[in-house]
Amino acid sequence: MGAQEEMMDFRSHKPLSVAGSAVLVLVLAVALLHHRTGRPTVDEASMAGAPPSQLAAMPPPPVQPASVTGTPQAICLRKGITVNLGQASFHIPGPPALTLVTGNGVDDEINFATKAGLEKACAFPTVTVQAIALDFDTMDKEWGIAADWRKEFCGDKADEATRYLCQGEDRNKGVPRRLASAAIYDPRVFDGDGMYQLKAPTLANFTAWKDLLVKAGTPPPVQADGDFDVYPGGVWLERDARGQTPLIFSCDAHSWPVTGQHYCIGSLDLDQGLHARIEFRTISGQVGADATYAVEHLRTLLAAWH
């Protein structure tokens, strides 16, 4: 009988033990939820004596920062594209003004103003090229890749070269940049001037022409324009290059004095056997100054990329 009573007592308490297990599971679940979220649930707050209205005032859990920011192209351009040109090497952040000429074919280029060009450049971050071409007017487009590049790179901490790419010189809205385009190449292996319809004068050709006239006893007349001498046909030659190869350029001006607005094309030798071809805009009274300005900014840009 005692054994039966004990058995009956055990059976009568079994439901209570099951209920106790259920309560234990509930408490553990609430504790686990609190551990994962870092904040109490409504039920937990109620059990703790806190009214549910206080829950809304609790601060949200901290947002975990993203491990990578920016688009894949932006990340790639921030690392920079290594460009090998002749004996020189450049590290360029891929502005949309940039086109890398990789051969003599029509399609042998990487145009950073296009999505396809960016993808191609980022797939091969080290490129050997025949020429570096820069169309600075592309930088001023108000949409597309140019706008995205400015948003990514044109902050307050940008260096001088990047700031020039971003905005050019101080100018009123809608006024085009003075330095319009440039091409850098090794003339011994590539005809960079041949990429353009209008040909730039070269120091070698000018010197040969002038020597012929001098030997014939009819030296060309010359006018002074600041640091430049101006020759017939609208050719400007830098008078004192300060130890560097002088800049020579021609403008669409065929009479003196020069008046109005003009578009000029020039060329000069750079270090490591490279040559530069530039196109710039100017107005009467500051042709020479604008030419000097264009070359200085081009040199600053190349030095920042070297």
Q: For residue range 205-254, list pLDDT tens digits in order.
A: 999 999 999 999 999 999 888 889 999 888 999 987 666 789 999 998 66
Q: 67-71, 179-183, 276-280 — which is least confidently predicted?
A: 67-71
- Domain span at 177: 74-305
**Position 88 in a domain:** yes
Indicate whether 26 pLDDT > 60.
no
**Residues 7-20, mean pLDDT to the nearest whole number:** 39
Q: Lowest-confidence range among 44-48, 85-89, 143-147, 225-229?
A: 44-48
Whether residue 83 sits in one domain with residue 17: no
Domain boundary among 26, 57, 88: 57
* DSSP code string of the chain: -HHHHHHHHHHHHHHHHHHHHHHHHHHHHHHHHHHHHSS--HHHHHHTT--GGGGGGSPPPPPPPPSS-S-HHHHHHHH-EEEEETTEEEEE---TTEEEE-SSSTT-EEETTSHHHHHHHHHSSEEE-SEEEEEGGGGG-SSHHHHHHHHHH-STT--HHHHHHHH-SS--TTPPPSEEEEEEE-TTT--GGGGSSSPPP-HHHHHHHHHHHHHTT-PPP-EEETTEEEETTTEEEES--TTSPPPEEEES--SSS--SEEEEEEEEE-GGG-EEEEEEEEETT-HHHHHHHHHHHHHHHHHHH-
Residues 190 and 234 in one domain: yes
- 50 lies in the same domain as 185: no
Average pLDDT over residues 263-268: 94
140 in the same domain as 258: yes
User: In the predicted model, is pLDDT for residue 45 greater than 80?
Assistant: no
Check whether residue 28 and residue 85 sit in a common domain: no
**pTM above threshold 0.85:** no
Identify whether 277 is part of a domain: yes
| Percentage, residues of the chain above pLDDT 90 | 51
Number of domains in the chain: 2
